[in-house]
Structure 1
Amino acid sequence: MNTSKLLLTVTLSGLITACGGGGGGGGGSTPASKAASSAAPASSVAPSSMGASSLAASSTPVASSIASVAASSVASGAPTISAFIVVDQFGYLPDAKKVAVVRDPQTGYDAALSFTPGATYQLINLDTNTVVLSGSAVSWKSGATFEAAGDRAWWFDFSSVTTPGTFAVVDVEKNVRSPGFKIGADIYKPVLKHAMRSFFYQRAGFAKQAPFAETGWTDGASHIGAGQDKNARLFSDKNNAATEKDLSGGWYDAGDYNKYTNWHAYYLVALLHAYAENPTVWTDDYNIPESGNGIPDIIDEIKWGFDWLKKMQNADGSVLSILGLAHASPPSAATGPSYYGPASTSATLTSAGAFALGSKILASLDNPELNTYAADLKSRAEKAWVWSVANPNITFRNNEGTSAGLGAGQQEVDDAGRATKKTTAAIYLFAATGASTYRDHVDANANNATNWVDVWGEPELTAWLYYANLPDATSAIANTLKSQYQSAFNANHNWPAVRNGEDPYRAYIGTSNFTWGSNRTISRKGLTFNNLIDYNISGTDTAEVRNATVAYLNYIHGVNPQGMVYLSNMYSLGVHRSVNEFYHSWFTNGSALWDRVGSSTYGPAPGFLVGGPNPSYDWDGNCTSGSPNAGCGAAAPNPPKGQPAMKAYLDFNTSWPLNSWQITENHNDYQVAYIRLLSKFVN
């Protein structure tokens, strides 16, 4: 053992504390909060085991806080929870591979600490206090340090245990254990409900009231006052009442309240795939206002999203690009006007694809009301296609030049991006209509479409595989698409990374792919594996695929260097440590009601996925590291800056100039990827 390190054998549930300081005030939308959105490379309080003092915001640098805890704490009596034995804190399916990761920091904010596992590891049934498995932790790569995490690691495999119950992994000699977790067939079902309910809390123009909103997160309908969504005006002609449109509804896009058509339409596509790929898991009991109507609640939420997208479509088939909203906490307190941007080719193409897939999926439910709705979506999809073909290069870059101030993120794409959107729309239009004109366009653009499998192309790869499974797809093209996909999986850090154990946390994406929104990247990587099952790729070993896929879910649920569930406020489901605060205009920094679990009255609502570790994080230029100034109010935090990729995270929501949105903002794009991944393992 490195004697310069401290041996930590105590719980570090509060090791990542929020940076203090009052600058910025959080909650306003900023251009930076979406700069990398599409770029490539519950209980309201914590349980007693996580006292408020460990969760309160602190201005003490994290490394010093850890050292202080380690120096003043001694393990005694029953095993204490160690930050160095990480598990999926919700649990594991009986037939899944189950591996606890034991970690010893070498670089990063916790490098001064040390943990070497003892000789004997046990799996303890916490309900009966009995030992159900005994063994040892096996060194990963003979003691090598994993660069992306800055950790050495060991694995304790307890896959052989399949009996349901509540368990913990115990290091007998060190008298420490992992957080508790469950083994059971239904462990992820309540998690899925919370994750889907985040869209209910993101609804614009809709009151969140009991019994549907949980205690503490009620609010009136937002953005329906004078000059807001029901009377939105064209941004470039704000004083012209003739431009007014009713554009109410939809979802807040992220921590900002704006609604971006390109992204919104894609969220609908992702949720439609989540339903279609596993329809039996979606129930009608998520406690939203539509629950109990005989339609799966995911479909009800999808319909809510389509209701807004339909309003954004003009009579000529084009689709408006964006609706910019005012911000406040809570959302109903926002009083500023709403403005929209003009139609664009990209927004219209993305909407065409969403309308088409929606018509196909909703019609499959064989519900009379939905059949009528689906027929309307189909008509809208075809009108959008016609307009896009006639207007192939209409672009609109919001929040730039004369459009500065409209929205926060940039959703416009280049020529190649529009070409991809056109082909994707054609795939879904062919599925909905069977018309050969769409199939011909798809086939003409299918060359090498799936010969490279990576996370950045996952939405397009899914669309291609969807086409390859349509009964009327051109058979030669369909066979080639599947064959290319299968071949690509034997390279590019896909199966090689899994089979060679390249990541001790078992969720390999490569250091360079830890960028803004890395938790979305993790989710999409898992989806690329499960596509082998969902889209009937020959030669697939189902058990191997599921074990590879679920490891990415395990990472989000706590098998990571932070030992953190990257979902907000999930303590009602028994987790040891989840996101306590994140960048959101409602759950804003400094709010007495919604800021942080354990220090504000309620903390944020449960179930929101945050962006995750981002080694490109930086604070504003006026926030000097190591010295306080008027903007920071405290020393600039470390972490997240200057850390190994997987440690570039801090549980905080401070706005400018610390710019926490780069790692802790939620985004519906992250949410739909995670929901789709999670739904694969719900029974």
Structure 2
Amino acid sequence: MKTPKVLLTFLLSGLMTACGGGGGGGGSTPASTPASSVAPASSVAPSSVAVSSLPASSTPIASSVTSSAASSVASGAPAISAFIVVDQFGYLPDAKKIAVIRDPQTGYDAALSFTPGATYQLLNLDTNAVVLSGAAVSWKSGATFEAAGDKAWWFDFSSVTTPGNYAVVDVERNVRSPGFKIAADIYQPVLKHAMRSFFYQRAGFAKQEPFAEAAWVDGASHIGTGQDKNARLFSDKNNAATEKDLSGGWYDAGDYNKYTNWHAYYLVALLHAYAENPTVWGDDYNIPESGNGIPDIIDEIVWGFDWLKKMQNNDGSVLSILGLAHASPPSAATGPSYYGPASTSATLTSAGAFALGSKILATLGNADLTTYAADLKTRAENAWTWSVANPNVVFRNNEGASAGLGAGQQEVDDAGRATKKRTAAIYLFAATGSSTYRDHVDANATNATSWVDVWSEPELTAWLYYASLPDATSNIATTIKSQYQTALNANHNWPAVRNADDPYRAFIGTSNFTWGSNRTISRKGLTFHNLIDYNISGTDVAEVRNAALGYLNYIHGVNPQAMVYLSNMYSLSVHSSVNEFYHSWFTDGSALWDRVGTSTYGPAPGFLVGGPNPSYDWDGNCTSNSPNSGCGAAAPNPPKGQPAMKAYLDFNTSWPLNSWQITENHNDYQVAYIRLLSKFVD
């Protein structure tokens, strides 16, 4: 167990990089098929100083200037500064485009400062021509944004729509932003990488070239004796009669377990992503199914359904969880696989997924998918029938007698089961047209969308989907839409956006920066874009798209870390992205897959990490009478003890520092981000 590696991304004066040394958008157009994402040594987070020898209690401080940075400043070329933050992939031509200039007041970078000069320019990096000049405008008359601990300014270059490679330059300070593009197709290669994360998360499937990039080749995992192909019931491990073939599916997160409640929802989210914007999904994501005439997102969805079908019993019930062994790489895992019994919640979530899958797959005009969809519809109705007859079957994994099965708790309470039943009924009505399901939906529709927040976004989407169905009860559909629109005009929704309450243009409120805040950011963007996706009258399309884009820009670098919160995206010329994250494959200490620039390859690209989490803490063992030697002298700061948006550290250390609270990936984060990103892909 080594001490966490602190990434210093906040730079001033000497801590800068020459404009030729890195920064997204300055190079050629990214290839449509993802190429190797391993960054060369000279371009790995070039504005960052990796410090591996600091004790756990160390706070990042300014380091000495590098020789390349010194020569850059001496030669007069603007150097990249982490105080000018932009979407490092770029901007759509018709989008609002605002560079945020930041001056730290509190947090780990408070000792640094930056005051913008009088003149800001937008520089075309291809021609070296200045295409726009003006002043940065102070946010809230110089107020400090408490969630980030920063003062801020905006430089608005929305008027520039010509495609090209650009940077925002502070003329007086002789610094600039990372490079970025303005282009209609800027997010297409990003979407491919984000979707390909599911390929790398496939269990029981060999990742081999040419589909896997050479750095992340691995054999099929969890197919040995006693593993997924003949998994046994956790409570009866020695009984061969309980063996089932439960192979396939996706690793859930940084752990390899498969949780039915969550897995089924990932399918629902991906199905909505496809259905809400079906023309943007290509058949060229370089997965084994590419080129078959079916969008690759649908191929990935079918892969997910193939596993979910295996989890369904003959009586319609659905098993709750499959616990897997862990190793790096995944194919090295040799421990047994065990499953938990069926539960009402798992069965209801699966019923909804099966039903929505049936509805959408049947529309693709493919004979095989039409047959597949018919089977899904039967499975959905069987699952519903079982859940109605067994409304309170609960299984809580990894506690009491089930301790050791899985990691996260997938079970829900009574209210959670009621929610799952409502959403299952919505999707079953869509698939079957049966009044049985519509009656259940209508009976529970009162005030269904009268409160809009990120935590209820999945159910809100289901309600809006119901309201869009031609055979939905008309007055209820109208009420659902009007309530949603009214709710968005209250609380911390439109008022916060229109009042510019967050200078980073991604307001969620300080209290919503918790475990998985990047999922929260993505879902918040979706709550706005739902106005367009579900044709709610009175919607200002441009305003909605720009509001939702603010949340996407945040994930792409418009944040206090000046970091793209996706792993290893240097192949797309970003300046700073996640270099390491908590994952059992890309594990701490791995010579091959630990950290970009330190290990041979670093992690695979395109994984969204959890993000800032001010509730982070080291393990309780570290404050016990016998702390583990990996604890260090104090909890790592950052992320502990920071303003909410700075409660982040680019590290992947396991127990007892528990980096999973900050940097673990999770398919739930991924589907929310993919769904939001897809709205802006041409």
* TM-score w.r.t. length of structure 2: 0.93
- 1:624 and 1:131 mapped to 2: Cα distance? 56
AA paired with 1:288?
I
Shift of 1:7: 8.7
Would the alpha carbon gap of residues 589 and 476 (structure 1) be closer, same or farther in structure 2, given more than 3 Å must change?
A: same
Aligned to 1:413: 412
Are residue 654 (structure 1) and residue 653 (structure 2) matched?
Answer: yes
Aligned to 1:280: 279
8 Å Cα contact 1:121-1:137 kept in structure 2: yes
Are residue 43 (structure 1) and residue 32 (structure 2) matched?
Answer: no
- 1:425 and 1:351 mapped to 2: Cα distance? 8
- 1:374 and 1:588 mapped to 2: Cα distance? 38
Residues 3-42 of structure 1: pairs in structure 2 closer than 5 A: 8-11=12-15, 42=36
8 Å Cα contact 1:52-1:598 kept in structure 2: no
SS of structure 2 residue aligned to 1:497: helix
Q: Which 5+ residue runs of structure 1 have no aligned equivalent?
A: 1-5, 14-41
Shift of 1:50: 3.4
Aligned to 1:156: 155
Aligned to 1:60: 54
Aligned to 1:335: 334
Aligned to 1:610: 609
- 2:497 and 2:652 mapped to 1: Cα distance? 34
- 1:477 and 1:238 mapped to 2: Cα distance? 50
Aligned to 2:33: none
AA paired with 1:369?
D
Structure number with higher relative contact order (C-alpha < 8 Å, ≥ 6 residues apart) = 1
Aligned to 1:134: 133
Residues 258-283 of structure 1: CA distance to partner in whole angstroms, max 9, x if unpaired?
Answer: 00000000000000000000000001
Would the alpha carbon gap of residues 657 and 429 (structure 1) be closer, same or farther in structure 2, given more than 3 Å must change?
A: same
Shift of 1:11: 4.2
Shift of 1:638: 1.0
SS of structure 1 residue aligned to 2:196: helix
8 Å Cα contact 2:255-2:326 kept in structure 1: yes
AA paired with 1:361?
I
- 1:189 and 1:404 mapped to 2: Cα distance? 43
AA paired with 1:177?
R
Residues 357-376 of structure 1: pairs in structure 2 closer than 5 A: 357-376=356-375
AA paired with 2:181?
K
8 Å Cα contact 1:192-1:679 kept in structure 2: yes
Would the alpha carbon gap of residues 222 and 50 (structure 1) be closer, same or farther in structure 2, given more than 3 Å must change?
A: closer
8 Å Cα contact 1:593-1:600 kept in structure 2: yes
Are residue 84 (structure 1) and residue 83 (structure 2) matched?
Answer: yes
Would the alpha carbon gap of residues 569 and 125 (structure 1) be closer, same or farther in structure 2, given more than 3 Å must change?
A: same
Aligned to 2:7: none
- 2:405 and 2:59 mapped to 1: Cα distance? 42
Residues 532-681 of structure 1: pairs in structure 2 closer than 5 A: 532-623=531-622, 630-632=629-631, 636-681=635-680
SS of structure 1 residue aligned to 2:536: coil
Shift of 1:58: 1.3
Shift of 1:628: 10
AA paired with 1:130?
A
- 1:109 and 1:555 mapped to 2: Cα distance? 20
8 Å Cα contact 1:518-1:614 kept in structure 2: yes
- 1:390 and 1:575 mapped to 2: Cα distance? 53
SS of structure 2 residue aligned to 1:255: coil
Compare 244-253 and 67-76 and name the one that shifted more. 67-76
- 1:220 and 1:533 mapped to 2: Cα distance? 43
- 2:114 and 2:469 mapped to 1: Cα distance? 53
Would the alpha carbon gap of residues 471 and 334 (structure 1) be closer, same or farther in structure 2, given more than 3 Å must change?
A: same
SS of structure 1 residue aligned to 2:213: coil
Shift of 1:47: 6.0
8 Å Cα contact 2:45-2:577 kept in structure 1: no
Shift of 1:45: 2.3
Task: Provide runs of 4+ in structure 1 moved above 4 Å.
Answer: 10-13, 51-57, 61-65, 70-74
Shift of 1:52: 8.2
Residues 561-614 of structure 1: CA distance to partner in whole angstroms, max 9, x if unpaired?
Answer: 000000000000000000000000000000000000000000000000000000
Shift of 1:637: 1.9
Shift of 1:368: 0.2
- 1:53 and 1:176 mapped to 2: Cα distance? 12
Shift of 1:56: 4.5
Shift of 1:492: 1.4
Aligned to 1:230: 229
Are residue 383 (structure 1) and residue 371 (structure 2) matched?
Answer: no
- 2:45 and 2:271 mapped to 1: Cα distance? 40
Are residue 254 (structure 1) and residue 253 (structure 2) matched?
Answer: yes
Residues 436-467 of structure 1: CA distance to partner in whole angstroms, max 9, x if unpaired?
Answer: 00000000000000011110000000000000
Shift of 1:59: 2.7
Aligned to 1:182: 181
- 1:636 and 1:401 mapped to 2: Cα distance? 29
Would the alpha carbon gap of residues 564 and 7 (structure 1) be closer, same or farther in structure 2, given more than 3 Å must change?
A: closer
Aligned to 1:95: 94
SS of structure 2 residue aligned to 1:166: strand
- 1:520 and 1:220 mapped to 2: Cα distance? 30
Q: Which 5+ residue runs of structure 2 have no aligned equivalent?
A: 1-9, 18-35
Would the alpha carbon gap of residues 276 and 234 (structure 1) be closer, same or farther in structure 2, given more than 3 Å must change?
A: same
Would the alpha carbon gap of residues 629 and 386 (structure 1) be closer, same or farther in structure 2, given more than 3 Å must change?
A: closer
- 1:320 and 1:393 mapped to 2: Cα distance? 14
Shift of 1:215: 1.4
Shift of 1:326: 0.2
- 2:316 and 2:37 mapped to 1: Cα distance? 45
Residues 341-388 of structure 1: CA distance to partner in whole angstroms, max 9, x if unpaired?
Answer: 000000000000000000000001011000000000000000000000
Residues 306-325 of structure 1: CA distance to partner in whole angstroms, max 9, x if unpaired?
Answer: 00000000000000000000
Would the alpha carbon gap of residues 410 and 131 (structure 1) be closer, same or farther in structure 2, given more than 3 Å must change?
A: same
AA paired with 1:59?
S
Would the alpha carbon gap of residues 631 and 440 (structure 1) be closer, same or farther in structure 2, given more than 3 Å must change?
A: same
SS of structure 2 residue aligned to 1:655: coil
- 1:346 and 1:65 mapped to 2: Cα distance? 45
AA paired with 2:549?
V
Residues 104-503 of structure 1: pairs in structure 2 closer than 5 A: 104-503=103-502
8 Å Cα contact 2:15-2:66 kept in structure 1: no
Would the alpha carbon gap of residues 104 and 55 (structure 1) be closer, same or farther in structure 2, given more than 3 Å must change?
A: closer
- 1:302 and 1:434 mapped to 2: Cα distance? 23
Shift of 1:68: 2.3
8 Å Cα contact 1:567-1:606 kept in structure 2: yes
AA paired with 1:534?
D
Residues 58-100 of structure 1: CA distance to partner in whole angstroms, max 9, x if unpaired?
Answer: 1326976532247997633201100100000000000000000
- 2:412 and 2:306 mapped to 1: Cα distance? 25
- 2:139 and 2:520 mapped to 1: Cα distance? 24
- 1:86 and 1:592 mapped to 2: Cα distance? 32
Compare 76-85 and 427-436 and name the one that shifted more. 76-85
* TM-score w.r.t. length of structure 1: 0.93
8 Å Cα contact 1:55-1:598 kept in structure 2: no
Shift of 1:633: 5.2
- 2:621 and 2:433 mapped to 1: Cα distance? 58
